[in-house]
A = this chain, B = another copy of it.
Amino acid sequence: MEEQLLRKVMEEVEKELKTSKGEQQSMKQAQSCTITEFVGTAIGDTIGLVIANVDHLLHEKMNIDKKYRSIGIIGGRTGAGPHIMAVDEAVKATNTEILSIELARDTKGGAGHGNLIIVGSEDVSDARRAVEVVLQTLETMMGDVYANEAGHLEFQYTARASYAIEKAFGAPLGKSFGLICAAPAAIGVVLADAAVKSANVDVVSYASPGNGGTSYSNEVILTISGDSGAVRQAILAAREIGISLLGTLGDVPVSATTPYI
């Protein structure tokens, strides 16, 4: 009987814990929404939206060329790399163009970025399709984001960079591309060094908290380009060290979804 009662109590306690935590994201259901601009939601408090005919006043204020009658809007609280990679896939797959990529200082108290990305098209169905591709792809692109209570690591890889990656980081089009990111930023410095030492790659960009490329996030972000095998090798070398170093500040960092690299 004691056993039974204990179990009963623990169930109650667990319920209490869940409802009192405000982090019910995992329980988030697909909410219905009848607003025509709504496309869907995804991991990282990400929402996908579309405007069929952007008002001309807004075109001007947003500094968007008027030939893009329709825009697709992607934005989330947590993540920037995953969203940029997902949009990169989306522009490959649809007739849209990247209009802007902006990084907020966010992650809900974490060390990184949130994001606002806008793609343009002449036809609304293209913008909508691009947003759908992003929402579907995002789960995968979160696979090599690893976090614990002290910080996070992020790794991205593609065999062929397209326009979103070019716009965000200045990486060469059509070449293999990799991203290595760590928070706290100190870990990122060591990962950057390890990556460039482990394979023959070109450094595309190096971002740090106070010297540009971040919105004062506590991250160092290295992006690399080059031969596909070399880029992958550099990322894998950095990933192994990163998981070990971030682990010294807390639990073993775990993937947000399923690693893809």
Which A residues are closer than 8 A to B by beta carbons? 2, 5-6, 8-10, 12-14, 16-17, 20-25, 28, 31, 33-35, 37-38, 41, 45-49, 51, 54-55, 57-58, 61-63, 71, 73-77, 100-106, 108-111, 114-116, 118, 149-151, 183-187, 189-190, 192-194, 196-197, 203, 205-206, 208-211, 214-220, 222, 241, 244-245, 247-251
- Tally of this chain's copies: 3
Contact at A250–B210, with CB atoms within 8 Å? no
Could you name 14 residue pairs across A and B whose Cβ atoms are closer than 8 Å? A31-B247, A33-B245, A45-B150, A51-B189, A58-B203, A63-B211, A75-B189, A77-B183, A102-B208, A104-B209, A105-B216, A108-B111, A116-B189, A116-B220
Q: Which residues of B contact A34 (CB under 8 A)?
A: 244
Residue of A12, A24, A116 most packed against chain B (CB within 10 A): A116
Contact at B55–A149, with CB atoms within 8 Å? no
Residue of A25, A216, A219 most packed against chain B (CB within 10 A): A216
Identity of the chain B residue whose Cβ is nearest the Cβ of A103 in the assembled complex: B210
Quick one: which of B75, B105, B110, B187 contacts A47, CB cutoff 8 A?
Answer: B187
Q: Which 4 A-B pairs have the closest CB atoms?
A: A75-B186, A109-B109, A102-B210, A104-B218
> Chain A interface mostly helix, strand, loop or mixed?
mixed
Take A6-B8, A118-B189, A216-B103 as given contacts and tell me if A184 and B247 are in contact as well, using a CB distance cutoff of 8 Å: no
* Nearest CB of chain B from residue A231's CB, rounded to whole Å: 14
Considering the chains assembled together, what is the distance between the CA atoms of A205 and B60 in angstroms? 11
* Nearest CB of chain B from residue A139's CB, rounded to whole Å: 16
Quick one: which of B13, B104, B186 contacts A13, CB cutoff 8 A?
Answer: B13
Considering the chains assembled together, what is the distance between the CA atoms of A244 and B33 in angstroms? 7
Take A193-B58, A206-B62, A209-B116 as given contacts and tell me if A24 and B149 are in contact as well, using a CB distance cutoff of 8 Å: yes
Q: Which residues of B contact A57 (CB under 8 A)?
A: 196, 203
Q: Which residues of B contact A189 (CB under 8 A)?
A: 49, 51, 62, 71, 73, 75, 116, 118
Take A184-B45, A189-B118, A192-B58 as given contacts and tell me if A250 and B208 are in contact as well, using a CB distance cutoff of 8 Å: no
